[in-house]
Amino acid sequence: MCTMRGKVELSTIAATLTQESKVPPSSKLVFTRRRFLNRLGLFGLGSSFPLGRLLLTSGKSVLASAQTPSEMPSVVRNRAPLAPNAFYLLPLGSIRPGGWLKGQLQIQANGLSGHLDEIWADVGPNSGWLGGTGESWERGPYFLDGLVPLAYLLDDARLKAKAQRYVDWTLDHQAASGMIGPSSNDDWWPRMVMLKALTQYQELTGDPRVIPVMDKYFQYQLAQLPQRPLRDWGRFRWQDELLSVVWLYNRTGAAYLLDLARLLRKQGFDWMEQYAHFQYTQRITAEFLKLAAASGLKDVGLSTHGVNNGQAVKTGPVWSVVSGSDADRLAALEMIAGLDKYHGLPNGMFSCDEHLAGLDPSQGSELCTVVEYMFSLEHALAIVGDASLGDRLERLAFNALPGTLTDDMWAHQYNQEPNQVECSLHAKPWGTDGPESNLYGLEPNFGCCTANYHQGWPKFANSLFMLSGEPGTTAHDGLVAAVYAPCEVRTVVRGVQVHVTEQTEYPFRGAVRLTLNPAAPLSFPLQLRIPAWAAGAAILVDGEPAPAPAPGSFARIERTWKSGDRVEIAFPMSPRISRWFHNSIAVERGPLVFSYGIGEDWLKLRDRGMTADWQVFPTTAWNYALNVDEASPAKSIAVTEAEVTDGPFTARHAPVRLSVKARKLNEWRAEDGAANPLPQSPVASDQPEENIALIPYAAAKLRITAFPQCKS
């Protein structure tokens, strides 16, 4: 059914809400970087993690498969003298994904994420992080960083066992000095990733080994850093370790951890200064970096490196917890604004192939950068409490993340492009990457993304709800719907267990229903993020209209909540037009970006065990200019909705399709597998007008996302 979509009617909310989808096993396709407390602090565990949640097996602590609400841990807040967050992430395990989101996690588990150690030696049984002689740098920790939350969100015994092997080896083989990890290298960087994985594991299981191991390691590092300071990747990614330092300080209160935090800041790269005087406003090339004459990346290469910048977005907010500076807290917004202005792309990403690459939508973005940018936004949103950070997080999660994975998640790209007309062995358009950069496969270009991308969906699921409150008290606590997707939440608010279910087909539909079930009537504020694009959004509380919410803010509803109370949100889902490179246009609806899906011919390049490497060639024309009414896009764009199935980010099962008028633009062509720069809009075309279909960005593996606009 084709309809012109305008303001969502509140009366249709109930009809558009659906129950959780049941996800069958994914139909597996044949798909098959760099090598390069005060001593113990266990007393704090009593209040933050009940002993009843622990099962002891051979001395190891494992999460019980069934949790009861009374076992849910309370949020651990920032201790003085740390500055308070605006919001706090809920303890891992508090949020369980449902509907299409649970389906994505299950497809991920059935795909490469759940089998990588079986087919890829870098994280296989000979990994240095399992005591072997194999890869001993970042890839084992990267893999664990996503595997742990994926395994526990799905309560998957097979994946838990895979993760446990890494955890047990790391915890049980700490050196007498306090060092952790393989003895074949002493690089601080891979330990930063392992610490992130261990903090997640401890929150999920309460394993009593984790905090003493981290405490001993941090004391060792504090003593070592003056003579063996941060270097290379660790120097530019120090903010990732700072998260773990703050995590441990909040549980032990050990004063030396604040000294360590300040030393990391002193030795680490000054990202806030770089963006206060941002000078990398053009595409960074190999010639600019003098890569041919260099041995490894120098500071300018590391400071323009895409993944480093994605991780850096959280630097100001995380450091502000220690510094107490408002300027530091708001630095993430300044960084995002700079990246958007000079390198922004329609899918929510900034270009980075491998380094910052300008505004042309034929330039790419590395998958590692996508998931690290998401992780930065999740923490920045919690610390800063700015609604725009949630908007950006959704844009990445619903477009850029699935847009670089095959439908069954058995293969991925290193670089994705918004205007991606071919995936083949060409050197163009990459600034500093190689010709395999946008192939779909096991480890195209560099294997870092193969190890690291697994964290994207699970950590997003763990960020859907947060806790608000004031420092030093629980009397003003409340819940925050930070980003939207189907889920179930069990947590503690003001000492009372609260269960929330979120039924929605968002981002494909605009209706969200929250059902609140506190164990006893409880007064607290519920805050709902209202995206900046959602002018005209409406809220009902138990069927009664709430005050109209302001776009780009958090709507606050404070009342005494009783079991069964309902909050219904209607987000308008009319198509919108946004402007990009050379005045081109992109079409958006809600948080989704839409693309023209080019016909695809998949050609296997090589088998890779259970998966394969693939080139993808176009089978249809793609050089269209759109003829739309920018002032009233809903009048010239028709919307067709279909069922939201288990594969909503696939072309075959796209839940939303847009029909728009367009004309071919013959002078816009491809060269060496890449679309040439967009002509300046508006453009003239003497070709006949056609109706073309646009589908969600992630559903189109070959696509045009930024279009020239036809002259009126």
pLDDT greater than 80 at residue 616: yes
pLDDT band at 293 (very low <50, low <70, confident <90, very high): confident
pLDDT tens-digit readout, 638-662: 999 999 988 899 999 999 999 999 9
CB atoms within 10 A of CB 18: 16
Partners of 60 in the beta sheet? Answer: 57
pLDDT band at 71 (very low <50, low <70, confident <90, very high): low
Contacts of 15 (CB under 8 A, 6+ apart): none
264 near 409, Cβ under 8 Å?
no
Return the closest-CA partner of residue 697 out of 287, 478, 475, 420: 420
pLDDT tens-digit readout, 510-559: 999 999 999 999 999 999 999 999 999 999 999 999 999 999 999 999 99
152 near 92, Cβ under 8 Å?
yes
CA distance 548 to 539: 7
pLDDT greater than 90 at residue 25: no
Q: Extract the tokens encoding 125.
A: 């049984």
Give the residue-averaged pLDDT of 12-33. Answer: 34
pLDDT tens-digit readout, 75-133: 999 999 999 999 999 999 999 999 999 999 999 999 999 999 999 999 999 999 999 99
Give the residue-averaged pLDDT of 579-604. Answer: 98
What amino acid is encoded at 514 in this protein?
A: L
Amino acid 646: pLDDT:
82
pLDDT greater than 50 at residue 61: no
Amino acid 102: pLDDT:
97
CB atoms within 10 A of CB 268: 21
Partners of 500 in the beta sheet? Answer: 489, 516
Amino acid 403: pLDDT:
98
Q: Extract the tokens encoding 287.
A: 């010639």
Reduced to 3 DSSP states, what percent helix, strand and coil does the chain have, rounded to the nearest 5? 35, 25, 40
- Sign of the CA dihedral 288, 294, 299, 303? positive
Higher-confidence position of 680 and 471: 680
Give the residue-averaged pLDDT of 620-645. Answer: 94
| Range with lowest mean pLDDT among 15-29, 97-111, 495-509, 634-648 | 15-29
637 near 575, Cβ under 8 Å?
yes
Amino acid 66: pLDDT:
35
pLDDT tens-digit readout, 297-354: 899 999 999 999 999 999 999 999 999 999 999 999 999 999 999 999 999 999 999 9
Amino acid 43: pLDDT:
31
| Range with lowest mean pLDDT among 4-18, 375-389, 697-711 | 4-18
pLDDT greater than 50 at residue 53: no
The fraction of the chain above a pLDDT of 70, given in percent, is: 90
pLDDT tens-digit readout, 331-347: 999 999 999 999 999 99
What amino acid is encoded at 565 in this protein?
A: D
Amino acid 292: pLDDT:
85
* pLDDT mean across residues, the chain: 90
pLDDT greater than 90 at residue 712: no
pLDDT greater than 90 at residue 51: no
Going from N- to C-terminal start, the domains of the chain cover 10-22+464-570
Amino acid 634: pLDDT:
87
DSSP three-state, residue 586? strand
Task: For domain 10-22+464-570, give the CATH number.
Answer: 2.60.420
Give the residue-averaged pLDDT of 182-199. Answer: 98
DSSP 517: E
pLDDT greater than 60 at residue 267: yes
